[in-house]
Structure 1
């Protein structure tokens, strides 16, 4: 199964289905919880703001979003008046949704990062929840790191020397890839393999400097629990849209994911990178 087919298996279940249990922005990634009485909407907005601030979007003219989802970051970049915000996705449903919004300055492309060839450099690059799909379970560790290094090298070439990249990804924590749940690997995210922080660091070495690392493991446990609660609340509607088997599959996936984050088997990292060669930090 190639990357595009694997992505569509999960993300093209249907926009109407996801809208039942995601927040209004259709943000399908870990939120940043602010307190015990926080709402999912507020926590997701806080996460989006984190990544926008990380790449200094207020002063940016061109920003790239790799794995743009349903366009929450792209919308906010458009609202900020960024001249050009480019989103890459492999999901037909997501691309169609973003295009239907016609956000000023936004260009969404149904394209793999491996094939992307921008016409100019960017001030910032954001990638949320895409990195998990770059390697496969069949890749040797050296091959995984090679794929990641290719990604970082390309991103470095696409950035201005003083640009920033903000990356958010799930990683293996106190669990090895050999212990990964086969249900998640085969039924939810087929042909995908998580990175470790060590693999990310090795791949970025000499290309990007790590400016900061944030661990959002418990934030993601809470986010999955919020999604599961919303899906249960709308279960009848969800079954009508996609069928009982699909709903049961997602309910199981959200429960297992929340448990994995709670137990520390998997974690969630937000990493801000700056290019080596940034003259402001010599």
Structure 2
């Protein structure tokens, strides 16, 4: 058991209270400024005329491809949000079992409303999850940045991340893949992080650094793909801000002036962080280190 687990069993791997504080504001509120799939993470853009909806579907397709879902019979989505990825994955005929994990009551309700038999959503973190069978594919988009807390030391953060990667490695079948997307610190030092973001937007959460991820996977998983798409996220935040500005009156009616202003400030400030390189957006693919798997299974 890691130091982080010993220090705070409940919050290790993500705090339910903190997640619900942010994500359960109101699904109707988020629907005003996200795309129609309610995808709340960086899109993958192509060209100046690209739309937010198309770019979000392209991002989902990227993770489905990197996790090799087309050849999988089982998929785990850690931090499944409002279910856009698991819903799209359900169209793969060979995929028989899809499990989504979330700590948000509202998100779980949305996924259940799909009523797709092969999809199961669980209100639990990865630290609580006890799968009956291993998975062929694991995807996690936008959850990793909730695993550590601002007061955690570098050593505790690496220990937390290493537990996560070790757990995913153990859950994967031979030849299985993990596709991961996360915010990271860029040029900004931890102590320079915005107090407003840490307290008013994402409480009890701290960003990783690439070197912490590298230390955490050493000897556990091999990174097969890595890209910093910070400008993709800046453009995504700009699109969300425009949508919120256009529907501002509706937003105020739903959640009030104070919450609306908080999100306007958050969207603008985070966009600037990505444009300036203070924060980054990593998309990466990983596979477990050699466990005696055949050469063909690794390719």
- Same fold at TM > 0.5: yes
**Structure 2 unmatched ranges of 5 or more:** 1-9
Shift of 1:214: 1.3
Q: Could you tell me which of 154, 157, 163 is aligned with 2:176? A: 163
Q: Normalising by structure 1, what TM-score?
A: 0.98
Q: Could you tell me which of 257, 261, 271 is aligned with 1:258? A: 271
Tell me the distance in 2 between the aligned counterparts of 1:223 and 1:104: 32
Q: Could you tell me which of 269, 274, 279 is aligned with 2:294? A: 279
Q: Please list every run of at least 4 consecutive aligned residues from structure 1 whose deviation after the TM superposition is greater than 3 angstroms.
A: none
Tell me the distance in 1 between the aligned counterparts of 2:250 and 2:91: 32
Q: Could you tell me which of 110, 113, 119 is aligned with 1:97? A: 110
Tell me the distance in 1 between the aligned counterparts of 2:205 and 2:281: 16
Q: Normalising by structure 2, what TM-score?
A: 0.93
Tell me the distance in 1 between the aligned counterparts of 2:71 and 2:106: 31
Shift of 1:55: 1.0
Match of 2:250 in 1: 237
Tell me the distance in 1 between the aligned counterparts of 2:68 and 2:178: 10
Residues 142-157 of structure 1 mapped to structure 2, 5 A cutoff? 142-157=155-170
Shift of 1:279: 3.0
Structure 2 SS opposite 1:193: coil
Match of 1:30 in 2: 42
Moved more, 96-105 or 227-236: 96-105
Q: What whole-Å deviation, never above 9, does each CA across 1:168-196 have from its counterpart, x for those lacking one?
A: 00000000111000000000000100000
**Structure 1 unmatched ranges of 5 or more:** none
Contact 1:121 1:159 in 2 (8 A): yes
Count of residue correspondences? 282
Match of 2:59 in 1: 47
Residues 211-226 of structure 1 mapped to structure 2, 5 A cutoff? 211-226=224-239
Tell me the distance in 2 between the aligned counterparts of 1:214 and 1:70: 25
Shift of 1:76: 1.0
Is 1:87 the equivalent of 2:97?
A: no
Q: What whole-Å deviation, never above 9, does each CA across 1:23-63 have from its counterpart, x for those lacking one?
A: 01100000011011110001001100000000111111000
What RMSD, in angstroms, separates the aligned Cα atoms of the two structures? 1.1
